[in-house]
Structure 1
Amino acid sequence: MNMIEQIESEQLDKLAAGRETPQFAPGDTVKVQVKVIEGTRERLQAFEGVCIARKNKGLNSSFTVRKIASGEGVERVFPLYSPNVATIEVVRRGDVRRAKLYYLRGRTGKAARIAEKTDGYSGKLTAGERAAASEAKVAARAAAMAAAEEKTKEK
């Protein structure tokens, strides 16, 4: 490994340790929180759309997000490890068979829709979150049943 690759891998490890980047692919709907500086103020601006491309080149990795704003298609390229990208959230998983979805540029309305992936691996919740949610649901049911039993005993 030459010197440049070694330095890049060290920087990549440092940047990856500082933030959590979700697994996402082209076709997924993502919400990117971008830091915007206006004068002395700094705020977060959300950009939600379909990821149409990913470029995996180490430190220079980037992804392209496309959304329709006021009837016009807007695309924005985000560097994956940029300090201006605060968070990336996967809103929905898309079921596509291409790595680059540039064909969406020529489509509007219903023709530009992407089917949602429905396999067990693509759910919005992880297995641990699903287990916690089901336990909470069971506990809520048990509490409701206990309250109903107390009401019937009072009568």
Structure 2
Amino acid sequence: MNLVHQIEQQQMKQEAPQIRIGDTVRAHIRIVEGNKERVQVVEGVVIKMRGSANRKTLTVRKVSFGVGVERIFPLHSPRLEKVEIVKHARVRRAKLYFLRELRGKAARLKEIKVQTTKKTGRVRRKKIKAAKKAAEA
């Protein structure tokens, strides 16, 4: 069992970002078409994560031309160039399957603004709504 764990550790990406459910991400995936290779960008909400270590996958949902599209990305795949976190959202579920039924503005999630404090370097998360009210006052 220890040998399997060692091999998995070697195959894992070292710079994998801390992605959470509800984050809007931009995934850069390498596509091979014939003898050409290009990078395709998929931007959407992470509705599901499963697995652990180098088997971890994330499911990204986006609406393309009015049709919901979900795509599963193995996080440690060599085809996945990088994953950028666009914004964070406050969610209370581990799986966001309810977004499949919602359309338009109803499918929005509450955004969380992420700040790092200067002294300690800790990450503080707060709702955008509260931050806007404080700025107006």
TM-score bin, normalised by smaller chain? 0.7 to 0.9
| Alignment-derived partner of residue 89 in structure 1 | 84
Taking the aligned partners of 2:34 and 2:96, their CA distance within structure 1 comes to: 36
Flag structure 1 segments of 5+ consecutive residues without an equivalent.
122-126, 128-155
Shift of 1:41: 1.0
2:63 alignment partner, one of 52, 68, 88: 68
| Rounded Cα–Cα distance in structure 2 between residues aligned with 1:76 and 1:21 | 18
Once the 2 structures are TM-superposed, how far is the Cα of residue 86 of structure 1 from its aligned partner?
Answer: 0.5
AA aligned opposite 1:2? N
Distance 1:79 1:45, change over 3 A: same
Q: Highest Rg: 1 or 2?
A: 1
Q: Equivalent of 1:22, from 13, 17, 23?
A: 17
5+ residue gaps, structure 2, are 122-137
User: For the residues of structure 1 that align with 2:53 and 2:17, how far apart are their CA atoms?
Assistant: 16
Displacement of 1:119 in angstroms is 5.0
Do the aligned residues in 1 keep the contact of 2:11 with 2:76 (CA within 8 Å)? Answer: no
Q: Residues 3 and 86 of structure 1: is their aligned pair in 2 closer, same or farther, counting only changes over 3 Å? A: same
Shift of 1:24: 1.6
Structure-2 separation of matches of 1:39 and 1:70: 27
Task: Name which of 92, 112, 120 aligns with 2:115.
Answer: 120
Aligned to 1:102: 97
- Identity, % of aligned positions: 45
CA–CA distance in structure 2, aligned partners of residues 33 and 118 of structure 1: 23
- What amino acid sits opposite 1:25 in the alignment? R
TM-score w.r.t. length of structure 2: 0.78
Structure 1 distance, partners of 2:49, 2:55, is 11
Q: Which residue is equivalent to 2:5? A: 5
Higher percent of residues as strand:
2
Q: For 1:3 and 1:35, how far apart are their aligned partners in 2?
A: 30
Give me the CA root mean square deviation: 1.6
The letter of the residue matching 1:50 is V
Which of the two has greater helix per residue? 1
Q: How many residues matched?
A: 117
Aligned equivalents of 1:105 and 1:23: distance in 2? Answer: 24
Q: 1:153 maps to what in 2?
A: none
